[in-house]
């Protein structure tokens, strides 16, 4: 089955700096890679996603890159703000598959 | 967009009792729903896949007699934690996929249930 690894597990950045979170996956059949933001005690919220036919996707301060050959994808947050502080999860799945495989999460702290 | 409602949001129960958690898709029909468990500062662990009208599929290591799943309609799946023990205390989250939005693009999470067994 699919195995998703995520690094780092914790990340602290100064407000205004950039944050990068990296994930690798093992199953070459995976073709859909969402990123979720989860605040304490709340549901994960989709913040951005990418399909395997695209190498990069950007939405304002958030971007995701995908390298299919190397089987890794990354989340980039620029101009970080304190409200970006949360746990971020990557996931890998097949678009019409049954389940998501989640990374272990990254706790991001943005220091004002 | 697709909305998944989960109830209750918090529950405290005594050891040995059973607790039922409901997961509803509010504006779409979900033939498949998923139940996750999340320990503090850890990732989401898939417990089981709930299929409408048929038996749930449990992940390895999850006791199906302890975590009873019933998906009786296209909009409701329930997870019952039977004979709960303190080690069952956790955050349980359901999710569902809106098939009209195209496969896993329409994957939505419920608000979660914080279970505390005392």
pLDDT band at residue B1, thresholds of 50, 70 and 90?
A: low
Mean per-residue pLDDT of chain B: 91
Q: What is the pLDDT of residue A34?
A: 93
HSE toward the beta carbon, residue B18, CA cutoff 13 A: 11
pLDDT at B7: 97
Average pLDDT over residues B11-30: 95
Model pLDDT, residue A31: 92
Distance (Å, rounded) from C-alpha A23 to C-alpha B49? 24
Partners of A94 on chain B (C-beta within 8 Å) are 104
Of all residues in chain B, what percent carry a pLDDT higher than 90?
Answer: 66
pLDDT for A94? 83
Kindly determine whether residue A102 and residue B49, on different chains, have CB atoms separated by under 8 Å.
Answer: no
Closest Cβ opposite residue A97 in set B102, B104, B109: B104
Of B43, B103, B109, the CB nearest to A43: B109
Residue found by looking up tokens 């039922």 in the block? B20
Report yes or no: A16 and A110 within 8 Å, Cβ to Cβ: no
User: Tell me, what's the pLDDT at B54?
Assistant: 87
Which residue from A43, A89, A98 is facing B43, i.e. has the nearest CB?
A89
Contact A41 B109 (CB under 8 A): no
Confidence band, pLDDT 50/70/90 cuts, at residue B53 = confident
Q: Which residues of chain A have pLDDT under 70?
A: 98
Q: Write out chain B residues lying below 8 Å of A42, CB-based.
A: 111-112
Q: Exposed/middle/buried for A75, CB within 10 Å: 0-12, 13-18, 19+?
A: buried
Confidence of residue B58 (pLDDT cuts 50, 70, 90): very high
Band of residue B6 on the pLDDT scale cut at 50, 70, 90: very high
Q: Say what the pLDDT of residue A112 is.
A: 95
Q: Which of A44, A86, A94 to mutate to test the interface with B (most CBs of B within 10 A)?
A: A44
Of B46, B49, B104, the CB nearest to A32: B104
Q: Which residue of B has its CA nearest to A46?
A: B108
Per residue in B60-111, pLDDT (tens digit) is 999 999 999 999 899 999 999 999 999 999 999 999 888 777 666 768 899 9
pLDDT at B52: 87
Site from A99, A104, A106 to mutate, B interface, most B CB atoms within 10 angstroms:
A99
A84/A76 Cα distance (integer angstroms): 12
| Residues B96/A31, Cβ–Cβ less than 8 Å | no
Query: Are B49 and A100 in contact (CB < 8 Å)?
Result: no
CA-to-CA dists, residue A56 to A12, A65, A74, angstroms: 24, 4, 10
């Amino acid at each position: 089955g699919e195995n998703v690894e995520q690094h780092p597990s914790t990340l602290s950045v100064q407000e205004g700096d950039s944050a990068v979170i990296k994930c690798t996956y093992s199953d070459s059949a995976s073709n859909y890679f969402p990123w979720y933001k989860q605040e304490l005690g709340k549901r994960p919220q989709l913040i951005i996603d990418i399909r395997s036919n695209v190498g990069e996707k950007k939405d304002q301060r958030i971007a995701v890159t995908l390298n299919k050959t190397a089987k890794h994808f990354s989340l980039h947050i620029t101009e970080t703000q304190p409200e970006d502080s949360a746990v971020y999860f990557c996931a890998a799945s097949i678009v019409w598959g049954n389940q998501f495989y989640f990374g272990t999460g990254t706790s991001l702290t943005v220091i004002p | 967009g697709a909305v998944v409602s989960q109830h209750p949001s918090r529950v405290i129960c005594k050891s040995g009792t059973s607790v039922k958690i409901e997961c509803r898709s509010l504006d779409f029909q979900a033939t498949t729903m998923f139940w996750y468990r999340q320990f503090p500062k850890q990732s989401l662990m898939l417990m089981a896949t709930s299929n409408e009208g048929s038996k749930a599929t449990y992940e390895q290591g999850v006791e199906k007699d302890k975590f009873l799943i019933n998906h009786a309609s296209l909009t409701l799946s329930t997870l019952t934690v039977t004979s709960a023990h303190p080690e069952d205390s956790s955050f349980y989250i359901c999710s569902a996929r809106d098939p009209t939005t195209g496969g896993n693009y329409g994957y939505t999470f419920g608000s979660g249930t914080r279970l505390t067994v005392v």
